[in-house]
Amino acid sequence: MDFTIGEDRQMLADSLSRTLADKFDWKTREAAIDSDAGFSREVWNALAELGVIGALFGEDTGGYGGSAWDVGVVFGELGKALATGPFLGSLMAGKMLEAAGDEAALAPVIAGETMLTFGHEGAVEANGRPCPPATAKRNGDQWIISGRKGVVEYLGSADQVLVTAQTDAGLSAFLVDMSASGVEARDYPVIDGGSAGELTLTDTPATLVGEDGGATEALAAATASGLVATCWESIAVMDVLRDQTLDYLRTRKQFGIPIGKFQALQHRMATLALEIEQARSSAINAAANFDKDATTRDRFCSAAKYTAGKVGRLAAEESIQLHGGIGMTWEFPLSHYAKRLTMLNHVLGDDDHHLARYMALGQAAG
Amino acid sequence: MNLEFSPEEETFRAEVRAFLKDKLPARLADKVRTGQRLSKVDMEQWHAILNERGWLANHWPEEYGGTGWSVMQRFIFETETAIAHAPRIIPFGLSMLAPVLIKYGTEEQKQHYLPRILDGTDWWCQGYSEPGAGSDLASLKTSAVRDGDHYIVNGQKTWTTLAQYADWIFCLVRTSNEGKRQQGISFLLIDMKTPGIDVRPIKLLEGDHEVNEVFFTDVKVPVANLVGEQDKGWTYAKYLLTYERTNIAGVGMSMALFDELQDISRSTWRDGRPVAEDPLFAQRMAKLEIDLENMKTTNLRVLDAAGAGHAPTAESSMLKIRGTEIRQEINDLMRRAAGRYAAPFIDEALDEGWNGEPVGPEWAGPAAAQYFNNRKLSIFGGSNEVQREIITKTILEL
Ligand SMILES: Cc1cc2nc3c(=O)[nH]c(=O)nc-3n(C[C@H](O)[C@H](O)[C@H](O)COP(=O)(O)OP(=O)(O)OC[C@H]3O[C@@H](n4cnc5c(N)ncnc54)[C@H](O)[C@@H]3O)c2cc1C
């Protein structure tokens, strides 16, 4: 057995960590989340140049990595720095291109030239009802799509968005240019920093990615990648929260002693530390089982997302609570980590969703 | 045993309901229900409406303009107003300062300050906490040094809620460094317009400006603004903290929020069905409902004992802990019910007059922000850890 991530990946992690520390300090982050885009294009370009986006994809399609371990390591570093930007959208949309062997579309994304995001999940109406699923049909030798997608990561900055839509043959994937006709985008900030948007397509011309009606498997694999990414990111954020809280417990004094000397708080931290290690193990499991059959892969991914969501809530709430008032402030980076961690549970399904999915997959497998 | 309210209490409830139906402006109730921000004017408007009916100071003795209600009547009033989505009563002047003045203030102080609290002339804020003195409040350092007819105040308070609106602040200040730390503390009333006071905003994690730092540099405060005796302020502060708080569990507010959550979870769909029909979500709802129902009775038991003359001490700690946990759980479930749509956050949408399109379910906008903001519930008013210490020491005697 070997629990190290390997030399090459360690090098990637180290250089990513250095670049983020260097180019993405707290002030840069504040400016980034204050901007309309919600992220720094400059930092994005620097990371692309470093090969960070390429590390998410296999060599066959112009990348230099692409395994679940690579994805995990990259998103862990991004989480540690609380980086904002369409990383997850690029990963998931890119995985769809990768599955279709579409090296030409992926190359400018890997180079950081094309901003790509991902629109699978439909929009929800003001009354809480889901919008009808997007549909695509042939119009002469062209595909056109209509439908609405909701909470699409960094939609306002995207050059292209990979969307799913139903055709007569079934679920299919399409690449849409944001400058195409019939594209309407409404961008807004998100509460944990960054932006997202609502996308409305009306008879919008699009390029089919992969086979007509053949997106289901690729989507499941892309979703699994997204789950590995959000889990590893969550764990990294938890590590930061734990360490900052431990520092605070050692230095903050009340009643003449560091508050970390109160046994009531010591036990809370001990529980939190234990839970974070459990969550880390679940994220490792997800990566380790990624290349097995789809059911095994998806069960381990759901197990990890369930654990990350459950422990994430604990970590976010405890770290704020044990800081007292200061943990509630915008000025204090800790609160932003807590917000990010909380909101990661809203991405790709929360802990309840994945617990149910885990059970359903188990029953289906017999 | 009989858990029914008496016919008189039911009559009173009907009276409160009729009043709310008649007098609570729909504009305010809507804002509260949808989680929009209340302005200072909104809060003052509601105070004025209650004051006109003589119901603002519902826990003061009648001779000072209070209602003279029993604890049960107060509970009914608090519950009904919350269910009707009335704004909450701002507690600093009415529920925190006034009881101290009534018990320890001079006649002159009572005659001067109490009517101004009632008619809204003075907005008060609470200056207890300091950067170094949170849970350990007795370690506070802001000093007041006697100089003829004045105290000269220097130091810093923090987390001061709505100090940006305040005309006055009641402060705990250090007037002596001798003896036990608790002994050299005094209770001082300070006009916020006095030269040398500087209020700086603190932005909370979800972005709101609700709390402040208040700095004091050579602030001259007339000796007449001392409440009670010099160096005895700790006793008054503790009286304020243990002052029978019928509303500490916030049961009414939780009931109102729970109803809202139920509506939301039925109308909002996910994975092909209403969220309420997701077995795991339904389980969370059921547990919450049971806990809330239990809390109602626990609360009534404490109030009943209080009505019979048993002043609640550590029982309030139980109500505070579980009451705040329940509200935080409701906020968690609201956020969950919003799914992906918990993330979009259009700050202006929380202000009156915004007429943009909502993003996703129309109720989802403030859900995450409220969840984050209400993490404060387990921190302030004596953190839940400190409350557990109180239970451990006074009830369990460990
Ligand atoms: C939104 C908000 C509004 C507020 N409004 C006001 C206001 O208007 N006026 C005012 O005066 N104050 C106000 N406060 C301050 C509030 O009362 C303090 O935050 C609170 O007393 C905790 O103090 P602290 O923040 O310094 O945390 P600390 O006391 O430093 O506590 C940090 C952590 O240590 C724990 N802890 C401390 N001592 C012990 C112990 N002995 N055993 C176990 N655990 C312990 C605490 O529970 C907490 O988890 C407000 C706070 C907030 C967040």
Q: Does B184 map to a domain?
A: yes
For the Cβ of B126 lying below 6 angstroms from any atom of ligand 1, the answer is: yes
pTM, two decimals, is 0.97
Residue B379: which CATH number? 1.20.140.10
pLDDT band at B313 (very low <50, low <70, confident <90, very high): confident
Average pLDDT, integer, range B182-190: 97
Handedness of CA A331, A334, A335, A339 (dihedral sign): positive
How far from B147 is each of A314, B173, B183, B229, CA to CA, in Å? 51, 15, 20, 16
Strands (E), B121-268: 124-127, 143-147, 150-158, 168-174, 185-191, 197-203, 209-222, 226-227
What CATH number matches the domain at A7-114, 2.60.40.10, 1.10.150.450, 3.30.1330.20, 1.10.540.10?
Answer: 1.10.540.10
Average pLDDT, integer, range B288-313: 88
Q: Does B103 map to a domain?
A: no
Q: For residue B346, what is the DSSP state?
A: -
Q: Indicate whether B315 pLDDT > 90.
A: no
**In chain A, what is the straight-line distance between the N-terminal and C-terminal CA atoms, in Å?**
29
Q: Are B212 and B331 found together in one domain? A: no
Comparing CA positions, the residue from B68, B47, B48, B49 lying closest to residue B58 is B68
Interface of B with A in 225-284 (CB under 8 A): 264, 267-271, 278-281, 284
Rounded distance from Cα B380 to ligand 1 centre (Å): 5
Last residue of a domain, one of B68, B89, B110: B89
Average pLDDT, integer, range A87-111: 97
B63-108: pLDDT as tens digits: 999 999 988 999 999 999 999 999 999 999 999 999 999 999 999 9
Q: Does B244 map to a domain?
A: no
The CATH number that domain A119-209 falls under is 2.40.110.10
Q: Measured between alpha carbons, how far is A276 from A313 in angstroms, rounded to an integer?
A: 11
pLDDT band at B245 (very low <50, low <70, confident <90, very high): low
Residue linked to tokens 């050692």: A250
Q: Measured between alpha carbons, how far is B355 from A70 in angstroms, rounded to an integer?
A: 45
> Which residue range is the domain that position B356 belongs to?
250-396
Q: Does B115 map to a domain?
A: no
* pLDDT of B244: 52
For the purposes of burial, counting CB atoms within 10 Å of the CB of A33, is it exposed (0-12), middle (13-18) or buried (19 or more)?
buried
For the Cβ of B161 lying below 6 angstroms from any atom of ligand 1, the answer is: yes
Q: Indicate whether B153 pLDDT > 80.
A: yes
Average pLDDT, integer, range A88-92: 98
* pLDDT of A80: 97
Q: Indicate whether A214 pLDDT > 60.
A: yes
* pLDDT of B172: 98
* pLDDT of A108: 97
Q: Does B96 map to a domain?
A: no
Q: Are B214 and B290 found together in one domain? A: no
Q: Measured between alpha carbons, how far is A128 from A182 in angstroms, rounded to an integer?
A: 25
Q: Are B35 and B134 found together in one domain? A: no
Residues of B noted as catalytic: 244
pLDDT band at B246 (very low <50, low <70, confident <90, very high): low
Complex ipTM more than 0.95, yes or no: yes
Token pair listed for A315: 């970590």
Q: Are B224 and B198 found together in one domain? A: yes
Q: Indicate whether A359 pLDDT > 60.
A: yes
Average pLDDT, integer, range B236-248: 75
Q: Are B41 and B130 found together in one domain? A: no
Q: Measured between alpha carbons, how far is A33 from A39 in angstroms, rounded to an integer?
A: 6
Q: Are B187 and B325 found together in one domain? A: no
Average pLDDT, integer, range B323-337: 97
Least confident of A183-187, B164-168, B308-312: B308-312
Size (chain B), residues: 398
User: Would you call A188 and B342 a contact, using CB atoms and an 8 Å cutoff?
Assistant: no
- Tell me the backbone φ, ψ of residue A207, rounded to 5 degrees: -105, 130
Comparing CA positions, the residue from A73, A95, A117 lying closest to residue A223 is A95
pLDDT band at B242 (very low <50, low <70, confident <90, very high): low
Average pLDDT, integer, range A120-148: 96
* pLDDT of A53: 97
How far from B24 is each of B58, B255, B363, CA to CA, in Å? 17, 18, 22
User: Would you call A126 and B338 a contact, using CB atoms and an 8 Å cutoff?
Assistant: no
Comparing CA positions, the residue from B11, B70, B110 lying closest to residue B304 is B70
User: Would you call B361 and A126 a contact, using CB atoms and an 8 Å cutoff?
Assistant: yes
Q: Does B109 map to a domain?
A: no
Residue B165: which CATH number? 2.40.110.10
Q: Are B227 and B304 found together in one domain? A: no
Q: Measured between alpha carbons, how far is A210 from A218 in angstroms, rounded to an integer?
A: 9
Residue closest via CA to ligand 1's atom 32 equals A324
Average pLDDT, integer, range A301-315: 98
Least confident of A329-338, B21-30, B246-255: B246-255
- Tell me the backbone φ, ψ of residue B269, rounded to 5 degrees: -100, 145
Q: Indicate whether A77 pLDDT > 90.
A: yes
Q: Indicate whether A280 pLDDT > 60.
A: yes
B195-241: pLDDT as tens digits: 999 999 999 999 999 999 999 999 999 999 999 999 999 999 988 77
For the purposes of burial, counting CB atoms within 10 Å of the CB of A245, is it exposed (0-12), middle (13-18) or buried (19 or more)?
buried
- Tell me the backbone φ, ψ of residue A210, rounded to 5 degrees: 80, -160
Last residue of a domain, one of B38, B67, B89: B89
Rounded distance from Cα B16 to ligand 1 centre (Å): 35
Q: Does B350 map to a domain?
A: yes
Contact B214, B169 (CB under 8 A): yes
Q: Measured between alpha carbons, how far is B318 from B193 in angstroms, rounded to an integer?
A: 39
Beta carbons within 10 angstroms of residue A58's beta carbon: 16
Q: Are B261 and B342 found together in one domain? A: yes
> Which residues on adjacent β-strands are paired with residue A104?
none
Comparing CA positions, the residue from B249, B245, B304, B252 lying closest to residue B79 is B252
Q: For residue A176, what is the DSSP state?
A: E
The tally of domains found in chain B comes to: 3
Q: Are B265 and B378 found together in one domain? A: yes
Q: Are B212 and B270 found together in one domain? A: no
Q: Does B108 map to a domain?
A: no
> Which residues on adjacent β-strands are paired with residue B203?
B209
Q: For residue A329, what is the DSSP state?
A: B
What CATH number matches the domain at A216-365, 1.20.140.10, 3.90.105.10, 3.40.640.10, 1.10.3720.10?
Answer: 1.20.140.10
Comparing CA positions, the residue from A145, A137, A141, A122 lying closest to residue A167 is A137
* pLDDT of B304: 85
Domain ranges, ordered by start, for chain A: 7-114, 119-209, 216-365
The H or E element spanning position B206 is none
Residue linked to tokens 């009340």: A254
Size (chain A), residues: 366
Residues 6+ apart with CB under 8 A from A190: A38, A196, A343, B343, B344, B345
Residue linked to tokens 């209509």: A146
